[in-house]
Structure 1
C-alpha cells in the first residue's frame, strides 16, 4: 500500500491555486500540507483538511510547526525561517531529531529540494507562486511512501510532473 502526501508552500496570497490543489487531491491522498507564507487568514475554510504552518509573511495565527504521525512515520512541518534554513541545516536537523521525525517538510527558500540527511527525508516543495533559484517553475510536491523507498515528484500549476526533479530515495 502506498501513502501519498501533497506538499505546497509559499503561495503568497494566491488563494486560487491552493484551493485548486485542495480540490484536486482532497479525499484522494493521505494528507495535504502547506508549509507557510500563504498570506491568508487562519480562519479561512480553505484550511479544513490541510496542515498549515506560519511563514515569515503570515500574520494569521497558524502554528509555527506541526508534528504528526502518518502511516507509521513521524512528519515534522515548519516554514524554515525560524530554523535559519537560509544559513544552513543545523537547526532544522535539530528539529527533526528533537521530534523523532522520519520526514521534515519546510519552505521559505522557494527552491524545490528533496534530500536524505541522517536518515530523515527533507522536502521543500518550492514555491507554488514565486519561484527562486535556477528552476523558475512554480511547483508543489507529491510524496509517495513505499515500504522500502520514497518517490518524490514535483508538479507545476498544470499538475504536470517536472521530470528533472523526480527522485527515488531509499528509506
Structure 2
C-alpha cells in the first residue's frame, strides 16, 4: 500500500519566518510541501526551493504560476489560491477545474478558513492561514495530509505545531 504525506500552508502575508519554520520542520520528512499563495514574498526567494507555490491575489510578483498540478505516487494534487475561480461566491469553477485535472485533492487558500470537504471523488482542502485566520476558527493553522490507497486524512496544526483535533477529517477514496 502506497502512502504519501504532504504539508500545506497558505496566506502567510509576509511572514517569512513561519514559512521557513514549517519548511525546516518537514522538508525531507514528507513527500511534498505546498504554499497556496499570498506569501507576499519574491518568487525568486530561496525559501521556495523544494516548495510547490502558487500566486495569490496579494502576490504582485508575476514569477508565480496561478495553478500547479503535482503527481505523487498515489494521488494527483491540483493547487491554486482560489481567487481566480471566484470561490468567495461559488465553488463551481474551482470544482470544474479540479475535475478537468483529474485531481484526487484540490488545494486552495484565499478564504483564510481551514476546511476539508468532498465533492465527488475530489477532496478540497484549505489549510487556513498561518497568519490571519478568518471565520469560526480563529486559530493560525496549516494542514498535514496523509494519502493512502484507501483514505485521505486531513489534520490541521497550529503555528507551534500542535494538532488541532477539532478539524480532523478522514475520507474514503
After TM superposition, the score normalised by the length of structure 1 is 0.98
Q: Secondary structure at the match of 1:74?
A: strand
Quote the residue 1:31 is aligned against. Answer: 32
Q: List, as ranges, runs of 4+ consecutive aligned residues in structure 1 with deviation greater than 3 Å.
A: none
Partner of 2:134: 132
1:59-74 mapped onto 2 (5 Å cutoff) = 59-60=60-61, 61-74=63-76
Q: CA RMSD in A?
A: 0.7
Give 1:150 deviation, angstroms.
Answer: 1.0
Matched with 1:14 is: 15
Unaligned runs of 5+ in 2: none
Range 33-42 or range 66-75, more displaced: 66-75
Q: Over residues 70-103 of structure 1, what are the superposed CA-to-partner deviations in whole Å (9 max), with x where a residue is unaligned?
A: 1232110000000011011100011111111111
Aligned partner of 2:85 in structure 1 is: 83
Residues of 2 paired with 1:68 and 1:155: CA distance?
23
> Which residue of structure 2 aligns with residue 95 of structure 1?
97
CA drift of 1:167 comes to 1.1
Residue in 1 aligned with 2:115? Answer: 113
What is the CA-CA distance between 1:134 and the residue it aligns to?
0.7
The answer for unaligned runs of 5 or more in structure 1 is none
1:58 partner SS: coil
Q: SS where residue 13 of structure 2 aligns?
A: coil
Alignment of 1:154-169 (within 5 A): 154-169=156-171
Question: Are the counterparts in 1 of residues 154 and 168 from structure 2 also a CA contact under 8 Å?
Answer: yes
Does residue 46 of structure 1 match 2:44? no
Between the aligned partners of 1:97 and 1:137, the Cα distance in structure 2 is 30
Q: How many residues of Structure 1 are paired with residues of Structure 2 in the alignment?
A: 171
SS of residue in 2 equivalent to 1:41: coil
